[in-house]
Amino acid sequence: MQEMAVGERVVPPVPPATPEDAAGLAAALHDLEALSRFDVDGIGERAQQAEDAARALGAPDLERRARLVLADLARRRGDVAEAGRIARQVQRWATDADSRHLLARSHFLLAAVLQELGDLSLALEHAVQSVHLLGDEDPPVQRIDHLARLADCQGLQGDEGAGERYAEVLGLAERLGDVDRQLLILNNWAYVETIAGRYDGALRLSAQLQALAERHGVPLHVGRLDTIARALLGLGRLAEAEDALAPGTESGALDVSPDGDAGADFLLTLAEVRRRRGHVAGAQEALDECVRRCEQHGLTAIRVRARREQAELHAAGGDYRAAFEEHQLYSQAALDLQSAQRDARARALQAMYEATEARRQSRRYRELSLRDPLTGLYNRRFVDDQLPQLLDRASATAGTVSVALVDLDHFKRINDAWSHDVGDQVLRAVAARLEVAASGWTVPGGFAARMGGEEFLLVLVGGDERRAVRQLDDLRRAVTAHPWAELADGLAVTLSAGVATTGGSAAASLADLLGRADEHLYEAKARGRDRVVGDGG
């Protein structure tokens, strides 16, 4: 597991806010910046004192340095958007003031923010800048931290050059005798190696990590034990992986873990190791505790992965029906999580940008939150937002709007017979046809959306009901005629659709329109599927 940092240190007191102590405050801020990567009691209070002292001194550069420390703490508590917003504010001030150190530190924080938001390319750009802007006067530990973050960004992008970077920064930490940073670097380097599938390298680094911790009497917390076990797991050395995890299962070890996932990720790895060793009961016990912690702490992403492991456990126990049902739940939860993460990422990124840049970027980020991640079509949120407005405009201008609910026939059979991957490819192919149908309509303003599962919505503005039915029937025939056998032998796909159209003079409620379309869709299904039914029957 890649970590931010963990360590036991004492934060030095911040000097009092007197002009003659400005140099002392700057030195204290260097210490706070060096400690901001580690879990240290009281660091937030000390950083707040430093910000207050700098403000009293009338030293805006020192005030903003303290503010960046507080922003980094906010990021680690989960408030990524706020951390990014503050970093952007400080960066703008530092650019105007030509403050090289503040620019380096703001880039350093933005690299971490964007890494957590999944924008690894942009994170790497900021990490490069954070290293480039460091001066000779900056403390050596800051060069280590900035280079280590650059190595993390490179490694997570799959850049093999990250190994050289990690080796460089590990050497710097060794020369300083900084054990905490050595442990952090070794753990993250090993984690990146497991992500890349280079398990031999990960195991070599894990051995260095264990030896260093033992030599200095530092207990390995569950995040680091998880990294070691993952390397062994990748090499199929299951018994050794379980032994590596053993210290984390000791009484109370998980409850005092400093990891933000409350030990749930560790428990998930333990469940996988035990299952693969054939210890199904022990695996279930670990997974049950993982799920409990996920639900207690709101760990949605780990909870989704736990569903996949539960499906594997059901299969290992011979309950294939339960395994299939759990895998279905996992597939849907994974799609929901992907959509939620994209939405959250868009909101967080938007919160980072203000004024002119916010106006320029906000439309793109909002667009991301209104798209279905699998098909690229609009999602239900977009429908709920836009369709009522379309109906209002149509009513005011005596225009018409047709809506069609489109459902793929016997889609469950496709997933069961050919796999969910084939099912996903079918959904994307049909979605592309729906977009063509929407864009090919002579009157602009319509759209296609995915309502969920295998159900879609096509909205057409203008024209009459008969013309809308013909458009849907053309779509139906195009889907039927598609060369599905190229995707999977014996695969055939058909759809059914129900179409409802507003009257040109009277307003139609959204519920009424969708209700009629749904009734017609049901009728199309009842009449044998592979057909389109409209208001005219």
The more confident residue out of 391 and 479 is 479
DSSP secondary structure of 32-79? HHHHTTS--TTHHHHHHHHHHHHHHHT-HHHHHHHHHHHHHHHHHTT-
Among 43-57, 104-118, 223-237, 239-253, the range with the most confident prediction by mean pLDDT is 223-237
Q: How far is CA 489 from CA 114, 326, 378, 421, 481, in A?
A: 43, 27, 31, 14, 15
Would the CATH topology of 219-369 be identical to that of 375-533? no
Q: How confident is the model at residue 254 (pLDDT cuts 50, 70, 90)?
A: low
Mean pLDDT calculated for residue range 283-310: 90
Tokens 């009961």, located at residue: 281
**Mean pLDDT over the full length of the chain:** 85
Domain limits, the chain: 1-171, 219-369, 375-533
Tokens 């929901």, located at residue: 336
Residue 134 DSSP SS3: coil
- Just give the CATH number of 219-369: 1.25.40.10
- pLDDT value at residue 354: 54
- pLDDT value at residue 322: 93
Residue 386 DSSP SS3: helix
> What does the block give as tokens for 332?
């849907």
CB 499 within 8 A of CB 533: yes
For residue range 172-231, list pLDDT tens digits in order: 999 999 999 999 999 999 999 998 899 999 999 999 999 999 999 999 888 899 999 999
- pLDDT value at residue 15: 46
Instruction: Tell if the pTM clears 0.85, that is, is over it.
Output: no
CA distance 27 to 32: 9
- pLDDT value at residue 10: 43
pLDDT above 70: residue 472: yes
For residue range 496-533, list pLDDT tens digits in order: 999 999 875 444 678 888 989 999 999 999 999 999 99
| Range with the poorest average pLDDT among 77-81, 142-146, 164-168, 174-178 | 77-81
The top-level CATH class assigned to 375-533 is alpha beta
Among 113-117, 367-371, 480-484, the range with the most confident prediction by mean pLDDT is 480-484
Mean pLDDT calculated for residue range 349-364: 55
Q: How confident is the model at residue 7 (pLDDT cuts 50, 70, 90)?
A: very low
Task: Give the architecture-level CATH label for domain 1-171.
Answer: Alpha Horseshoe (1.25)
Residue 461 DSSP SS3: strand
pLDDT above 60: residue 13: no
pLDDT above 70: residue 366: no
Q: Which residues pair with 533 in a beta bridge?
A: 498
- pLDDT value at residue 28: 86
Q: How far is CA 509 from CA 218, 392, 499, 506, 513, in A?
A: 66, 9, 15, 10, 6
Percent of the chain surpassing pLDDT 90:
50
pLDDT above 50: residue 419: yes
- pLDDT value at residue 427: 95
Q: How confident is the model at residue 393 (pLDDT cuts 50, 70, 90)?
A: confident
- pLDDT value at residue 385: 83
Backbone angles phi, psi at 456, to 5 degrees: -125, 165
Mean pLDDT calculated for residue range 422-444: 88
CB 84 within 8 A of CB 350: no
